[in-house]
Amino acid sequence: MTTTIPPQSQPHQPGVERLMNPQAEHIRESYRGSGKLKGRRALVSGGDSGIGRAAVLHFAREGADVAILYLEEDEDAHESVRLAEAEGVKALAIRGNVANSAVCDDAVKQTVDTLGGLDIVVNNAGVQYVSEDLTDITDDMWQHHMDVNINGYFYLTRAALPHLGRDSAIINTSSVNAFAGNASLVAYTTTKAAEMGFTRALALQLAPRGIRVNAVAPGPVWTPLQPASWGPVDPEAVAHLGDKTPLGRVGQPSELGPAYVYLAAQDSSFVTGQTLHVNGGMIING
């Protein structure tokens, strides 16, 4: 799968799907669901686009009802709902900022009220700002990373936990940068490493309850966040996002979706506190 990406930029994070050139692929037409998640209910933060949308569509094709919590990209959110409903499941879009604990509480309530319960939580919403020098990172920028990428994971999981039972699954989207580092993304990398600590500690805490907690650590993937974060600094960098992977290309969200299905389904019933590395072969440490 070769994807040629021209230099480009988007003005605001987390970016929108329709401005991407080329359009991203979220689920392959050839992907066949087998009812692995039939009767399950999932809540996905950042499910309006990118990897979050891929998780939503793969869950839906496997039979799960889905809710998405998104920041402000109404067009993308409604499209995710439309595509999920086309798979024959219930779908719900909830607008709000994961950095606000009350928003997360309400999102869980709406999900439970509408879908009749909650079995799967995917913490995926995130921000990343490029800074080539630590002194360029302002207090507000640093705190914004923490509020969304760490606090948002905590708030949504805490709100969901009273509704999760045995065989439920929590899946956190981390990053290859948590393991390999990234000189241009110090704040982002810090949050992604913190998410790994959160994943491992929570997995130990919840194991006696039969609730599994795992993570997916993507490499460079073609999502709106890429042109919205790298583009304003260097549009040319967007065209070379995947050049350093052994496979020599950027990944598509469709190549991440099945990893979320595996961690959400009973296929991974003996897997907790672990990380799936879907990164094009990048070497990691730890």
Active-site positions?
188
227 in Cβ contact with 10 (< 8 Å): yes
Q: Which residues touch 65 (CB under 8 Å, ≥6 apart)?
A: 40, 41, 42, 89, 90, 91, 115, 116
DSSP letter assigned to residue 218? E
Hey, what are 85's tokens? 């409903």
Q: Where are the alpha helices (DSSP H) in the chain?
A: 50-61, 74-85, 101-115, 139-146, 152-160, 177-180, 186-206, 225-229, 235-238, 257-264
**Buried/exposed code over 209-226 (b: 16+ C-beta within 10 A; e: otherwise):** eebbbbbbbbbbbbbbbb
Tokens 């793969």 identify what position? 58
- Compute the distance between CA of residue 48 and CA of residue 92 in angstroms, rounded to an integer: 11
- Compute the distance between CA of residue 118 and CA of residue 94 in angstroms, rounded to an integer: 15
